[in-house]
Chains A and B, each alone.
Chain A
Amino acid sequence: MTLLTRRKLLNFIVLTLSGMAAVLGLFMLSWILGDVAWKGFSSINWDFFTQLPAPPGVQGGGLVNAIIGTLLMTGTAACIAVPFGMMSGTYLAEFGKNNLVGHLIRFLADILVSAPSIVIGVFVYLVLVKPMHNFSGWAGAVSLAIIMLPVVSRTTEEMLRLVPPEIREAALALGSPYWKMTFVIIYRSASSGIATGVMLAVARVAGETAPLLFTALNSPYWMHGMNEPMANLTVVLFNYAMSPYDDWHRLAWGAAFLITMTVLAVNVFARIMLRAKRRMS
């Protein structure tokens, strides 16, 4: 074998392996999604969205309280984290571009994005649940908000930085103070990007389980407010999937289907929006 054939052969082998890795990745994605869709779709029916959970052995039952609980807690978390994250993102983009504080906060935010979410759950348990002696929807919402916060703030920063300097200069040249320029001009031109980032962050925390395990806990009943243990889709999924009952497994697959499809739909939608925006500018 000449050197050239050997090099070509090696090249061919590596390229084939690389292509196979890519096909394998795609295959796993479709395998998981296929299983979730196939097993989950059959358990989605009207009862699933309207009934309270049934005890094991009893036919039927749904997860309406968990669906509402997840929506409530995710919504509350967004209400806390979005203004907070947007303000800190504004600092990072406008004032903290090159100073030490900015670099430090950016660094910490990047670490918090990937930090183990279960530790956030332990932290919120110690700060909110233990002193107040009860698990609550508020505590769950706060732990989700802590997870959202660094994501929202980094996305806001990136989106604000995309706003062309000429727009800022034009506003400042007209005599606008910096804060007015930020609120009226910059936020508006970055709004669709920020909205996309917020959507992605919401989708991410909607699928979080670990931080809710010891904060919101779970409950088989209707909620009377955020001040009590609160059912949510992911923790219900965890408990039901770990249980020995087939009925509950069925509901767990239904919950998995609902969460996965919602999260993926938001992701795909956000990506399309971002791409459309990039094409415009």
Chain B
Amino acid sequence: MCRSSVCISINWLEEDLRLVSTGRRPHLELMQRMNMNKNKIWGDLVFRGLTAAFASGIALIFIAIILVLWQQSQPSITKFGFSFLTSMSWNPVQEHFGALIPIVGTLLSTFLALVFAIPLSLGIALFLAELAPHWLRAPFGTAIELLAAIPSIVYGMWGLFVLGPLMADYVQPFLKKTLGFLPFFSGPSMGIGMLTAGLVLTLMIIPFISSVTRDVFLMVPQPLKEAAYGLGCTTWEVVRDIMIPYGRKGIAGAIFLGMGRALGETMAVTFVIGNAYHLSWSLFSPGNSIASTLANEFTEADGTIYLSSLIELGLVLFLITLIILSLAQIWLRRSQTGRT
């Protein structure tokens, strides 16, 4: 017992010496370890082990999600193989499933949302960080962040009952009249469909992108900005040549964070996307996303193949968002620490 604690102390001491050499704040750890008697060491070892066990629980849940989804979608994976991702048929009667339409719908609605949300969010972030009078910044920022707190199902319901009819009566006829020669703006004005889903998603991700971007803008050192202003730059030139280049990693991270949210958003999309399995150039036509397919069909799925196809859809969604959110985290972290 004694020997092991000595060993541990030596290991810790080495660690502390390393910490000293890297200029961190080591005396805290040193003090913590030097005044330990045997009982204290055991108590603290147990404490450290317990917290570590709980912390690794998060990693375990993460791994379990991937493993369970992978294992349970085996029937579908073995039956359809790679063609699951490229086939357009979704036929529960003949038990033939292909995920292309939900995947395209997910990507398309997210893309539409980003097209609208990126310029709007950058504008809002710029306003909050640089333009608004100081007394307005905190309440305005809070208001934008509150948009993120509204449950997504409320957005969906609002989209179905308020935005949908508006789109059908005014926006879509107008678009057809002015831009109707494009294939994107043709077909009947039903109100619900890809475009409406994209708009509701836009509203949902604006607060995420704009609040992170505002924080990125606020991290730009004041002397840099003042130097540029001193040279006679206009506000826009300072933003374009100083703030955006300085914070580009953070902004990319913010955009990918919003993208990850939009990809996995379920309720807001399910209400307004129309839930139809067909692919069309028109943005007015109803479609489907992975999340809305799951929400609509999961409890009704009978048969192993049907269920495991839905689970495979879930796995695909999880992996796509995993990649996007990892990129977001990596960029956000880089923008916080060393910058180049």
Contacts and interface: CB of A to CB of B under 8 A. Distances in A.
Given A118-B295, A271-B142, A35 B158 contact: yes
Given A115-B322, A122-B311, 19 more contacts: A25-B124, A25-B147, A91-B54, A112-B62, A116-B317, A119-B314, A120-B65, A123-B65, A149-B61, A172-B35, A177-B36, A178-B40, A178-B48, A209-B267, A213-B298, A234-B153, A237-B153, A238-B153, A268-B146
Chain B contact surface mostly: helix
A110 B318 CA distance: 14
A259 B57 contact: no
Interface in A96-129: 96, 98, 101-102, 104-105, 107-112, 114-123, 125-127
Contact of A29 (B119, B146, B328): B146
Contacts of A57: none
B152 A241 contact: no
Contact of B131 (A18, A84, A168): A18
Given A10-B236, A92-B55, A114 B267 contact: no
A127 B72 CA distance: 10
A88 interface: yes
A7 B232 CA distance: 11
Interface in B126-155: 126-128, 131-132, 140, 142-144, 146-147, 149-155
A182 B132 CA distance: 42
Contacts of A19: 123, 127, 131
A15 B157 CA distance: 34
Contact of A108 (B32, B59, B126, B149): B59
Interface in A1-33: 7-8, 10-11, 14-15, 17-22, 24-26, 28-29, 32-33
Interface in B187-214: 203, 206, 210
Interface string A159-179: 000000100110011010111
B204 to A, nearest CB: 11
A105 B321 contact: no
B47 A98 contact: no
Interface in A42-96: 84, 87-88, 90-92, 94-96
Contact of A256 (B52, B157, B234, B237): B157
Contact of B40 (A94, A112, A177): A177
Given A123-B69, A149-B61, A209 B152 contact: yes
A35 to B, nearest CB: 6
A259 B151 contact: yes
Given A122-B298, A123-B68, A105 B59 contact: yes
27 contacts: A11-B234, A11-B235, A22-B124, A36-B154, A39-B161, A87-B51, A88-B58, A92-B55, A95-B51, A110-B325, A116-B317, A117-B264, A118-B291, A119-B318, A121-B294, A122-B314, A123-B68, A127-B64, A127-B68, A172-B32, A204-B149, A207-B150, A209-B152, A241-B156, A264-B146, A264-B150, A267-B146
Interface of B: 24-25, 27-28, 31-32, 35-36, 40, 43-44, 46-48, 50-52, 54-59, 61-62, 64-65, 68-69, 72, 119-124, 126-128, 131-132, 140, 142-144, 146-147, 149-158, 160-162, 203, 206, 210, 234-237, 239, 257, 260-261, 263-267, 270-271, 291, 294-295, 298-299, 310-311, 314, 317-318, 321-322, 325-326, 328-329
Interface of A: 7-8, 10-11, 14-15, 17-22, 24-26, 28-29, 32-33, 35-36, 39, 84, 87-88, 90-92, 94-96, 98, 101-102, 104-105, 107-112, 114-123, 125-127, 146, 149-150, 153, 165, 168-169, 172-173, 175, 177-180, 182, 203-204, 206-210, 213-214, 217, 234, 237-238, 241-242, 249, 252-253, 256, 259-260, 263-264, 267-268, 271
